[in-house]
Amino acid sequence: MLKPRQPVPALDVPLVGGGRWVLADQQPDKFSMVVFYRGVHCPMCRAHITELDGLVDQFAEVGVDRVLAVSGDDVGRAQRAVEEWDITRVPVGYGLGSESMQAWGLHRSKAIKEGQPNEFNEPGLFLVRPDGTLYAAVQTTMPFLRPHLDEVVETVRWISENDYPARGEL
């Protein structure tokens, strides 16, 4: 289990459109934010990642200026998500393997419907400090119960203004 104030696992994924997103190379003002989504098959993910795409500037204003949306989808499925969901601002990574899913403590599910991958991760949102340690995480076991991203923006603003420490370290 990942603990706040401890290093997070390495994350190095290819991006739709080319290049790679390497967590260790990010140099955020306050936080990098990694949003793990289930895949293109998930309508709740579409809503969440689309909302994230629209909040990029607000996140940057509060110091979350390195953001990634990533799933275990292959390049074709990830490209489909970018195109069908009209994602233009958030880098979208793909090819997250089972070992990485486990290392990040993500819940995993098996396909129950046509069009779902055999195995995929359930959602997670992680705020990572510039030193590579975990500040906060929200994980779910299903597509529902995700944090409202506009509230995350305001929470990060409050955290920064009040120098609030990472909690949950025990």
CATH architecture of 12-162: 3-Layer(aba) Sandwich (3.40)
Is residue 76 packed enough to be buried (19+ CB in 10 Å), middle (13-18) or exposed (0-12)?
exposed
Q: What is the mean pLDDT of the chain?
A: 98
State pTM to two decimals: 0.98
Q: Tell me the pLDDT tens digit for each residue of 117-152.
A: 999 999 999 999 999 999 999 999 999 999 999 999
> Cα separation of 156 and 154, whole Å?
5
Q: Are 154 and 160 in contact (CB under 8 A)?
A: no
pLDDT at 130: 98
pLDDT band at 166 (very low <50, low <70, confident <90, very high): very high
Q: Tell me the pLDDT tens digit for each residue of 102-111.
A: 999 999 999 9
Map residue 124 onto helix, strand or coil. Answer: strand
